[in-house]
């Protein structure tokens, strides 16, 4: 389970990108059952995620996804090099969401009527022992997202205090 720290929305015109994109930065919630093997603790990583509207259609030079609706990738820590700044390790990925669900998610993000947002994603292939799921990031940098759920928790509506009665200004009102 990922807890969203921030959302951004983008619109673009061109052939390379979908016209509307939702992006978020999230962190694990501490409830995850996934452990990274060969990498840092998963709780220290930011997850940079992109949600695209529609169904995935590979381009002419692209391979179709073997399975799933998107990918999740691990990026190792990078040292600064020349004029390129370094970065800490992080995960990044994307998935496609059917148009009606995407449009609803877009409106939820735009309306900002939520207090908390969590994302659940199922990923494969990963190993499992009797206690935890394991993703060996040394052997496999990229895995598939097979299912994704975006959950918004609402704010309580704020009740306005009752209006104060008008002040009397004299004998007649």
Q: Structural domain boundaries of the chain?
A: 2-154
pLDDT score at 12: 80
Q: Look up the pTM and report it.
A: 0.79
List C-alpha distances in Å: 64 to 43, 58, 68, 70, 156.
31, 6, 10, 10, 44
| 54: confidence class by pLDDT, cuts 50, 70, 90 | confident
pLDDT tens digits along 70-106: 999 999 888 888 888 888 899 999 999 999 999 999 9
pLDDT tens digits along 129-162: 877 788 888 888 999 999 999 999 987 666 777 7
Nearest to 52 by CA among 25, 26, 20, 24: 20
Distance of alpha carbon 121 from alpha carbon 79, whole angstroms: 30
């Amino acid at each position: 389970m990922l807890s969203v720290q921030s959302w951004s929305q983008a619109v673009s015109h061109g052939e390379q990108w979908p016209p509307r994109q939702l992006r978020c930065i999230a962190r694990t919630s501490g409830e995850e059952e996934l452990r990274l093997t060969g990498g840092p603790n998963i709780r220290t990583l930011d997850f940079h995620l992109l949600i695209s509207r529609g169904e995935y259609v590979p381009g002419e030079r692209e391979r179709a996804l073997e399975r799933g609706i998107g990918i999740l990738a691990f990026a190792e820590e990078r040292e600064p090099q020349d004029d390129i700044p370094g970065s800490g390790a992080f995960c990044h990925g994307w998935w496609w969401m059917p148009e009606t669900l995407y449009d609803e998610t877009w409106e939820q993000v735009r309306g900002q009527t939520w207090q908390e947002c969590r994302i659940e994603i199922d990923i494969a292939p990963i190993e499992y022992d009797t206690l935890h799921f394991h993703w060996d990031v040394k052997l496999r940098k990229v895995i598939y997202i097979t299912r994704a759920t975006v959950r918004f928790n609402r704010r309580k509506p704020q009740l306005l205090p009752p209006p104060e009665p008008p002040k009397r200004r004299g004998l007649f009102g």
